Amino acid sequence: MRIVITGGAGFIGSLVAGELLERGVFRGSEVTSLVLADRMPARVSDPRVEAVTGDLAEVVPRLFAEPVDVLIHLASAVSAEVEADTELGMRSNVDATRALLAACREQAAAGRVATFVFSSSVAVYGADPAAPLPSIVDETTLPAPQSSYGVQKLACEQFIADATRKGTVDGRIVRLMTVAVRPGRPNAAASSFLSSIVREPLNGEPAVCPVDPSLEVAIASPARTVNGLLAVAEAERGEGPGRLRGRIPVNLPALTVTVQDLLDALESVGGSDARALVEMRRDPAVEAIVGSWPARFDNRRAAELGLHADADALDVVRAFARDRAAAGR
């Protein structure tokens, strides 16, 4: 089986790749080839891995030089940078996805339909005066994105659903919660601070919290996110427990916490000195984007696939601290 991961050198892409290599099988078939496509070369030493480096829209022909059984599309320009540069988002998010779907369509014409797993986002939701968000959101809630990033993700969802309807891909759309806590350095996502306010203080570095600490957010740990992506990717279609029904997206299980909950968990794990490294400095632009996203979800569709949210904020922060210690940082 040949699996392609776009964004394969990124944080989630690397974790998904590592999990697939460790399992060695996908839907009962041996993973013989894993292609990791990204702007930066993937650093994985395994004979099954091929790294493809370059702009995604330009390397699509290389990705489909041989038949693709599964395409896990994680590559994306993120929320704050897309809000600042709409054209960047259109190229990186919409045009690249369309190029992948076109390649899948050509492959399907030759008799081989790829499973297309798309990482979407809760940014597709938002409140509108004519359609306010309900207190609890599920997959039937009308999307009304309040950012360019959310609009682009929603557009891609519809392209993939239409291709699935036509039989040129087997599309699986997974809406990710904010992944926390991420290692590494901050990125351009508006929600990046949700990791920074834990990660940097535990490393003895200062961090800024740009929102009111009472703000509720929906998060998922890296482990739950990877497990959810692969569960949706591997699920058989049909009715009943463990099966994927219809073409609509799956919202991954959400843990609803306040920013204050994360700060309290930081103090529990890192002590008062770590907590003192977080400066409260409101940023209206960040607060507007993150505050437009829903924080409370009905997780029943994910639960049908055996997926569940993290226990609480302390569990999430402790998991990050364990991973950090295991990595020697």
**CA 51 from chain center: how many Å?**
21
Q: Is-contact 136 254, C-beta < 8 A?
A: no
Q: In 3D, which of 320, 125, 316 has the Cα closest to residue 219?
A: 316
DSSP string, 138-205: -TTSPP--SSHHHHHHHHHHHHHHHHHHHTSEEEEEEEEPEE-S--SS--S-GGGHHHHHHHHHHTT-
Q: Which is the catalytic residue, given 26, 116, 149, 320?
A: 149
Q: What whole-number distance in Å separates Cα of residue 73 and Cα of residue 97?
A: 8
Q: What is the DSSP letter of 124?
A: G
Q: What whole-number distance in Å separates Cα of residue 48 and Cα of residue 83?
A: 38
125 catalytic? Reply is no
Please, which residues bridge with residue 73 across strands? Answer: 6, 118
E strand residue ranges, the chain? 2-6, 25-26, 29-30, 33-38, 49-53, 70-73, 114-121, 169-176, 178-179, 207-209, 216-220, 236-237, 243-244, 250-251, 255-258, 278-280
Structure tokens at 78: 């993120």
CA distances to 108, 232, 245, 309 from 225, in Å: 29, 11, 20, 9
* Residues annotated as part of the active site: 149
